[in-house]
Amino acid sequence: MNIILYVFVALILLLLNEYRLIKKYVKAHENNFEKTTLQKITLVVLKPIVVLKNWVDYKLLNNELNY
């Protein structure tokens, strides 16, 4: 009876590991799509603006944690 339990636990762990690897592969595949030039330009232009906005929001306007 114990050997059946060990085999069952081993199969569950193996399936969880395979699921994790498949999920990682799918995420990596989704991130490798070719970006258009318009997407690249908007990322270059908008990223500094977003970073500045986040800095202002979290550093300057959030005085609760700055005591």
Residue type (1 letter), 48? P
Tens digits of per-residue pLDDT, 2-55? Answer: 899 999 999 999 999 898 888 888 887 777 667 778 888 888 888 889 888 888
**Dihedral angle of Cα 34, 35, 37, 40, to the nearest 10 degrees:** -140
Place of tokens 């595949």: 29
Place of tokens 């270059």: 44
CA distance 53 to 37: 24
Q: What is the pTM of this model?
A: 0.41
The structure tokens listed for 12 are 């569950």
For the chain, the domains span: 1-33, 34-67
